[in-house]
Amino acid sequence: MTAPLNSSDPITVNVGLGDRAYDIVIGRNVLPSLGARIKALRPGVRTAIVTDKTVARHWLKATEESLAAADIPTSHIAVEEGEGSKSYAGLETVSEALIAAKIERSDLVIALGGGVVGDLAGFTASILRRGVDFVQVPTSLLAQVDSSVGGKTGINSPQGKNLIGAFHQPVLVVADTAVLDTLSPRQFRAGYAEVAKYGVLGDAAFFTWLETNHADIMRGGSAREHAIATSCRAKAGVVSRDERENGERALLNLGHTFGHALEAVTGFSDRLYHGEGVSIGMVLAAEFSAQLGMIAPDDAVRVARHLADAGLPTRLQDIAGFRQEGLADADRLMALMAQDKKVKRGKLTFILLQAIGQAVIANDVDPATVRDFLHRKLSN
């Protein structure tokens, strides 16, 4: 594992997609450079910022000042924080605001926020006037290492997570690690689940490094930039090889089949953040892999122990109110997993493990085996 890079030096990771390639700029206090970077990329452009009300209080002024310093006109729309905005109603609100702001096809939408804002703003941009380009300015750890990179955009349906959406790549990602200082510890930990995911699914050495350095990442030391850059490089490589998830990119969904069902069953609420669902989902995937004889039980224990050490939930019973509200229902979870985007002709697809650092796509997993596994986990 390479040593962490100096946190004062911005790191640029390129997502290689031919004439649609773009850079991810990572570093502390790179937000003030946003306007200059956009001006160099698109001279004469107009912009509109989509953000949420919490992020707006912290970072909207700095973003607008950066754009103003580069003589870039802008407007903004602030939605409510949380998954509730990633809905049909949220899509209508943002679409109408962008139309009212006279954003044209040659202009740019700027997504200033976490995964919800990035997904919502990106999807709106993809359908506005049949396609407007956008820039990601992710303000959560989860967004910086995962959702801002790769072009997946969308909204939720009452029937499942991200069931309405489009692939729409950004033209630039500016990830300022200083903005992470305003996150609550719980929000930061939820994002860390996606960092750990890259080690679990494809980089055993990185996972081992995380076991030693996760505390420095939490504190905001030099390990933080290194972890974010390593995660972005991993995702950029996969996206460049499989942009539309026809093969390898599905591996990035490790923990998500279980996790998305848990988010749905808890109403896409702050009772379970996305990263928390992914954490529990990764542990379930590791334990299910061990049950199938694919990995050693000690490896599943190791995954669970690291996530728990990082302060993340690792069991179904860790979800607040899960039993009290009658949500501990394996059949209900199975029904929600049947709506997952990775289902093909009604057959369940899971991302499972052959080793730490070696995930595989498992097609046509026997639903009865999964149901029995969930019954056992719910009875623990």
Q: Is position 161 annotated as part of the catalytic site? A: no
pTM for this entry: 0.91
CA distance 315 to 372: 16
Topology at the third CATH level for domain 11-181: Rossmann fold (3.40.50)
Q: Is position 53 annotated as part of the catalytic site? A: no
Q: Is position 130 annotated as part of the catalytic site? A: yes
CA distance 233 to 13: 6
Q: In what order do the strands lie in the sheet with 172-176?
A: 11-15, 22-27, 172-176, 133-138, 108-113, 47-52, 74-79
User: Of 303, 270, 267, 319, which is closest to residue 114 (Cα–Cα)?
Assistant: 270
Q: Is position 20 annotated as part of the catalytic site? A: no
Query: What tokens does 255 get?
Result: 């923990």
Q: Is position 377 annotated as part of the catalytic site? A: no
Question: Is the model's pLDDT at 7 over the cut of 60?
Answer: no
- Which pLDDT does position 342 carry in this prediction? 62
Catalytic residue among 42, 197, 224, 274: 274
**Chain region(s) in the chain for CATH 3.40.50.1970:** 11-181
pLDDT in tens, 67-86: 999 999 999 999 999 989 99
User: Of 112, 137, 115, 133, which is closest to residue 124 (Cα–Cα)?
Assistant: 133
Catalytic residue among 28, 197, 224, 256: 256
- Which pLDDT does position 365 carry in this prediction? 87
- Which pLDDT does position 136 carry in this prediction? 98
Catalytic residue among 37, 58, 249, 332: 249
In Å, what is the CA distance from 180 to each residue of 34, 117, 159, 225? 17, 16, 32, 11
User: Of 179, 87, 170, which is closest to residue 142 (Cα–Cα)?
Assistant: 179
Catalytic residue among 130, 219, 246, 380: 130
Q: What is the mean pLDDT of residues 249-277?
A: 91
Q: Is position 245 annotated as part of the catalytic site? A: yes
Domain boundaries 185-379, corresponding CATH code: 1.20.1090.10
Catalytic residue among 260, 341, 342, 377: 260
> Which of the 8 DSSP states describes residue 344?
B
User: Of 87, 161, 167, which is closest to residue 131 (Cα–Cα)?
Assistant: 167
**Percentage of the chain lying above the pLDDT 70 cut:** 94
Q: Is position 37 annotated as part of the catalytic site? A: no
Q: Is position 253 annotated as part of the catalytic site? A: yes
Catalytic residue among 245, 263, 276, 287: 245
- Which pLDDT does position 1 carry in this prediction? 43
pLDDT in tens, 101-128: 999 999 999 999 999 999 999 999 999 9
- Which pLDDT does position 133 carry in this prediction? 98
The four Cα atoms 188, 223, 173, 60 give a dihedral, to 10 degrees, of: 50
Catalytic residue among 64, 81, 194, 287: 194
Q: Is position 214 annotated as part of the catalytic site? A: no
Catalytic residue among 162, 213, 253, 306: 253
- Which pLDDT does position 130 carry in this prediction? 97
Catalytic residue among 42, 86, 152, 377: 152
**Chain region(s) in the chain for CATH 1.20.1090.10:** 185-379
Helices 367-379 and 274-291 meet at what angle, rounded to 10? 110
Q: Is position 249 annotated as part of the catalytic site? A: yes
Q: Which residue has the higher pLDDT, 42 or 337?
A: 42
**Percentage of the chain lying above the pLDDT 90 cut:** 81
pLDDT in tens, 160-169: 889 999 999 9
The four Cα atoms 83, 88, 93, 97 give a dihedral, to 10 degrees, of: 110
Please report which confidence band the pLDDT of residue 158 belongs to, taking 50, 70 and 90 as the band edges.
confident
Residue 56 contacts by C-beta under 8 Å, 6 or more apart in sequence? 76, 78, 112
For the chain, report the end-to-end CA distance as a whole number of angstroms: 37
